[in-house]
Amino acid sequence: MIIAIDGPEASGKGTVAKLIAQKYGFLHLDSGLLYRLTGVNLIGQIFQDNAAFVKAAIAAAHQITTDNLDNPPAQARSMQGGIMASKVAVIPEVRNLITVLQQKFAAQQGSAVVDGRDIGTVVFPNADLKFWVIASLESRASRRFADYQAKGKADTLAQVTAAIEARDHRDSTRAASPMKKAQDAHLIDTTKLSIDGVVEAMSAYIDAKLA
């Protein structure tokens, strides 16, 4: 069984994907982490032009595996890691490599909860259950801002908001598998829900479908 959970940055999809996986005894695959690990390889490098960036990104994506995803480097979870992930994620060859990795992971495991931007549309179009998780820009920005503050980061709320808007724009307007709701995905707006509330809403939908 595959449960696909897609949505924009800081919508809460990653947190609830993990909890839903625990609750139903499935493995969780955070597909964004695969793009982040690809992107962090390129941080600090200088590229002569876009072609050189694309070449390096494809080479980095070839090195990514779904093994040992439990303790990623801190940079992978940083704002810069997210921006780099979004930049490498526009490259079709990178997407193809990461898509195949996810499909192999699911084939090996049998069941999984996978979260990302294109899981229900491209990676697992035949997923048993699909969710599209959203929240207002204000609530997403204040959640991300709180995360960064807890980690001692100096970014302001305005900077975090602008970074989320820029990432939403890049992720939803790229030509290769842009972020969008699968037609058959169940919409959950987490703006006014607690994490427990989101897990409850998802579980009710899952249980009804399984019954």
Q: Which residues bind ligand DC (CB under 6 A)?
A: 9, 31-32, 35-36, 82, 85-86, 89, 116-119, 167, 171
Six-digit token string for 172: 């939803």
Please identify, using beta-carbon distances, which residue of 16 and 85 lies nearer to ligand DC: 85
CA distances in angstroms from 133 to 9, 14, 96, 116, listed in the order given: 10, 10, 24, 10
Closest C-alpha to 103, from 131, 70, 126: 126
Q: How far apart are CA 80 and CA 42, in angstroms?
A: 11
The least CB distance from residue 14 to ligand DC, in Å, is 6
Q: What strands lie across the sheet with 2-6, from one edge to the other?
A: 27-30, 112-116, 2-6, 129-134, 186-189
Q: Is the separation of the CB atoms in 96 and 61 below 8 Å?
A: no
Please identify, using beta-carbon distances, which residue of 169 and 209 lies nearer to ligand DC: 169
Please identify, using beta-carbon distances, which residue of 41 and 86 lies nearer to ligand DC: 86
The least CB distance from residue 211 to ligand DC, in Å, is 29
The least CB distance from residue 81 to ligand DC, in Å, is 8
Six-digit token string for 120: 């229900």
The least CB distance from residue 166 to ligand DC, in Å, is 10
Please identify, using beta-carbon distances, which residue of 119 and 127 lies nearer to ligand DC: 119
